[in-house]
Amino acid sequence: MPIFRWGQPWDPFQDLEREVDRLLQGVNLTLHGVRFSRRFPQVNLFELDDSYVLTAEIPGIDISQLDVTIASNCLTIKGTRLPPAEAGEDAFRRQERFHGPWQRKIQLPDRINEDGMRADYNAGVLRVTLQKAPSAAARHIKVNEGP
């Protein structure tokens, strides 16, 4: 059974489809899904022993257009992704990439040390590292004896 069927029976790329099918024969189909209605950018959040790490796929951003802020344990990233300046509106044959202003807010599960924030942008992936705040030391409360 063909694994993929793209297009109509008259599709000129049938040979390619067959080739891809052939190449994929014997590949264990463990994961098969479709990413629809994507938010931009998509983010992942990880927890390490002493920090949280947020990664976001934001390809093609000038870092001067990238804004990362934190307030009340809520991390906000925002910016704008512009279409290529030389492309006119009617010049597009296909437009699948996101263009325009975007913003994401991510609530962090724990208190963080706002001085230990670090953000890096590399190959279109933003990575924000947030140090957890040292857990508050137990405080003794003096009990006063009543009169």
Partner 1 sequence: MTDISDHNPPHESTSMIPAPENSSGEPRLLFNPPIDIYETPDGLVLYADLPGVDSEGLDLQVQNNRLTLFGRVTTDVPQSAQMLHQEYHIGDFLRSFILSDEVDHERIHAKLTNGVLRVELPRAARAKPRRIEVSGG
State which of residues 30, 72, 135, 144 lies at the interface with partner 1 (CB under 8 A): 30
Contact at 8 Å (CB) between 54 and 106?
Answer: yes
The answer to whether 106 and 45 have CB atoms below 8 angstroms apart is yes
Residue 102 in the binding site for partner 1 (CB under 8 A) = no
Regarding 137 and contact with partner 1 (CB under 8 A), the answer is: no
Work out whether 43 is an interface residue with partner 1 (CB under 8 A): yes
User: Rule CB under 8 A: is residue 74 a binding residue for partner 1?
Assistant: no
Q: How far apart are CA 33 and CA 35, in angstroms?
A: 7
Peptide bond into 84 cis (omega under 30): no
If 0-12 CB within 10 Å is exposed, 13-18 middle and 19+ buried, where does residue 135 land? exposed
Is the sign of the CA dihedral 83, 41, 75, 54 positive or negative? Answer: negative
Question: Cβ closer to partner 1: 36 or 144?
Answer: 36
Segment lying near partner 1 (by CB under 8 A), choices 29-37, 67-75, 111-119, 133-141: 29-37
Q: Work out which of 2, 18, 22, 46 binds partner 1, going by CB under 8 A.
A: 46
Interacting residues with partner 1 (CB under 8 A):
4, 6-7, 12-13, 16-17, 24, 27-36, 38-39, 42-49, 52-53, 55, 57-62, 83-84, 86-88, 91-98, 106, 109, 121-125
